Amino acid sequence: MSPGDATTAHRLALALEAEVGALVRATAHEPAARPSDVSDALAAATRTLARLTDVMGAGQARSGDDRSVEPVEVTVPVLGVDGCRGGWVGAVLEPGAPRPRIAVAKGIGELVETVRSSLGVVVVGIDIPIGLPDTTTRQADALARQALRGKASSVFTTLTRAAYAAPDRAAADAVNRARCGQGVGAQAFALRDKIVEVDAWVRSRPTLTVIEVHPELSFAAMSGSPIRPNKKTDAGRTARLQALRSVGIASPSILTGSGYGADDVLDACAVAWTAARYANGAARSRPPAPEHFSDGIPAAIWA
């Protein structure tokens, strides 16, 4: 950890100590305490803890940046999924296959079942928030942004569950501000339908392991640092193909098609790489201990 990080961590630790003290006093039913005092104190402590975890995680990430990543060993069939214009595009990795196989479907459940009909997929990785908060933001999003220096804007803050139930962005903004104090951007709200779709599917208890993956975090893990060129440019596609090759994943034979582009396919391949690492026990989650909200679903981003 750098001296600057150490100083920041110390300052945050002191702030957390004070905020936990305020939380203890609020829950001790002091005469002047109100229910809102408890929620405010808890929210403040949670935010500071997340920031402290970010700083500690960043120091650990920098100390390990020079470690090489071995080519992934695909021991069981896995599926990496990314959203696209036509619905969902998946990259399938299976033992002995020379390159990823691409599958496309309108719905997430349809895509997974199509692949499962021919392969015994064990792990599905999806580039979409899984595990929705109730009254806070998620540590996973904050830690992913911390790890993606220079590309942090690619990680949107997950809204509260109640905000995703709102009929439009204006209503979602009002709900989210009331729940966790944050507004709702247009790009973040544009993901609502896919987030709600995956949430409903995950809560239906599919009989396989489902994990959340952010492709930019996976590419950064492959390369040792975030890939700076935009994924929709020639330079961005070349850099991502090179990153995939460096970890043993050949370019899929199909990169574009009806309803999906090369950036969608390459993102799905990166997600599949992380799914294979998860199956091998090599993947790392942010945060290290996934959060759990009222839905009971582990909330963490894997890479």
The pLDDT assigned to 3 comes to 58
User: Is 189 inside a domain boundary?
Assistant: no
Selection from 160, 157, 89 nearest residue 127 by Cα: 89
The pLDDT assigned to 62 comes to 42
The pLDDT tens digits of the residues spanning 25-46 come to 766 655 555 655 665 666 666 6
| Averaged pLDDT, 8-37 | 68
User: Is 228 inside a domain boundary?
Assistant: yes
Q: Does 7 share its domain with 122?
A: no
Q: Does 60 share its domain with 83?
A: no
User: Is 29 inside a domain boundary?
Assistant: yes
User: Is 49 inside a domain boundary?
Assistant: yes
User: Is 233 inside a domain boundary?
Assistant: yes
The pLDDT assigned to 167 comes to 95
User: Is 35 inside a domain boundary?
Assistant: yes
283 pLDDT band, cuts 50/70/90, is very high
Whether pLDDT at 274 is above 90: yes
Q: Does 205 share its domain with 270?
A: yes
* 84 or 13: which leads in pLDDT: 84
The pLDDT assigned to 13 comes to 76
Q: Does 212 share its domain with 255?
A: yes
Q: Does 206 share its domain with 121?
A: yes
Cβ neighbour number for residue 33 with a 10 Å cutoff? 14
Q: Does 92 share its domain with 50?
A: no
The pLDDT assigned to 60 comes to 46
Q: Does 85 share its domain with 59?
A: no
Helix, strand and coil in the chain, % to nearest 5: 50, 15, 35
Q: d(Cα 102, Cα 99) in Å, to the nearest integer? A: 10
The pLDDT assigned to 15 comes to 76
131 pLDDT band, cuts 50/70/90, is very high
The pLDDT assigned to 21 comes to 74
Q: Does 5 share its domain with 99?
A: no
Q: Does 58 share its domain with 86?
A: no
Q: Does 217 share its domain with 266?
A: yes
Q: Does 88 share its domain with 211?
A: yes
User: Is 213 inside a domain boundary?
Assistant: yes
The pLDDT assigned to 17 comes to 75
Final residue of a structural domain among 18, 35, 67: 67
Domain count, the chain: 2
The pLDDT tens digits of the residues spanning 64-107 come to 444 468 899 999 999 999 999 999 999 999 999 989 999 999 99
The answer to whether the bond into 287 is cis (omega within 30° of 0) is: yes
Q: d(Cα 196, Cα 10) in Å, to the nearest integer? A: 39
Domain membership of residue 113 as a residue range: 78-130+195-285
Q: Does 244 share its domain with 98?
A: yes
Q: pTM of the predicted model, to two decimals?
A: 0.78
Final residue of a structural domain among 67, 88, 111: 67
58 pLDDT band, cuts 50/70/90, is very low
To the nearest whole percent, how much of the chain has pLDDT over 90?
75
Q: What is the CATH number of the domain that holds 275?
A: 3.30.420
